[in-house]
Amino acid sequence: MRKTKRLTFLSRILLPLCLFAAGWLILTLWVERPGPAKAWHVSHGIATKKVLVIFDPDPIYNLDEQVCLSLAKGLAKGDMDVTIETVAAIDPAKFPGFDAYVFCANTYNWAPDWAITNLIQSKKISKSKPIVAITVGSGSTLRAQHKLEEIMAANGAQPVTSKTWWLMRPNDEKESNKKNVDVAVSLAYTFGIELANKLKN
């Protein structure tokens, strides 16, 4: 009788845990699968350097895309010729033609997304050129940011700067009355201008 009760008790605990773990695994595999091929080009006609901005689209929110496009506009305002591409759209043969790279990683399970980290580890990108790390996520991105920086360093690329922006956490306490995404997009644009000046120097 006691054994039966124990088994019943364990089944009530283990079954929900197993279902949760299975659901989490399925969700992880879904968000981590490579997104569609997309590409944009932003330039104001006067360009001193060419920059490649890379991200893998999040299937739920497009904070990554909005941040990358806004960043590119800021870079272009600073006289950079900017190409924005998703991982699926990239042609590795064209990598040497860029003067700097920006990697934007989504945060899944407190780590940078697989598509971006696999690309960095592929050793197809010149590590002697400036590389920028951007990490986006719901709000807990510290571990993912550090992990992205570590992966870059392990592959011979030390990021010249590293930024994080969030979907649900305030990106600027002074603008807490605004939508987090709007603030992130605005900050990305300003950062793009600052980055352009840094790259020119």
What is residue 28's predicted lDDT score, i.e. its pLDDT? 54
Q: How far, in Å, CA of 79 to CA of 28, rounded?
A: 39
Which pLDDT score is estimated for 32?
62
Q: What angle do CA 158, 162, 168 make, to 5 degrees?
A: 150
What pLDDT does 74 receive?
97
- Asked if 160 and 123 count as a contact pair (C-beta separation under 8 A), the reply is no
Amino acid at 137: G
The pTM assigned to this predicted structure is 0.86
The CA angle 142-80-52, to the nearest 5 degrees, is 50
Query: Per-residue pLDDT tens for 98-145?
Result: 999 999 999 999 999 999 999 988 877 777 889 999 999 998 899 999
Crossing angle of helices 63-77 and 180-200, rounded to 10°? 40
CA distance linking residue 55 with residue 87, whole number of Å: 6
Task: Give per-residue pLDDT as tens, 176-201.
Answer: 889 999 999 999 999 999 999 999 87
Confidence of residue 47 (pLDDT cuts 50, 70, 90): confident
Most confident of 18-27, 89-98, 178-187: 178-187
The beta-strand segments (E) located in the chain are: 39-42, 49-55, 80-86, 100-108, 111-112, 131-137, 161-166
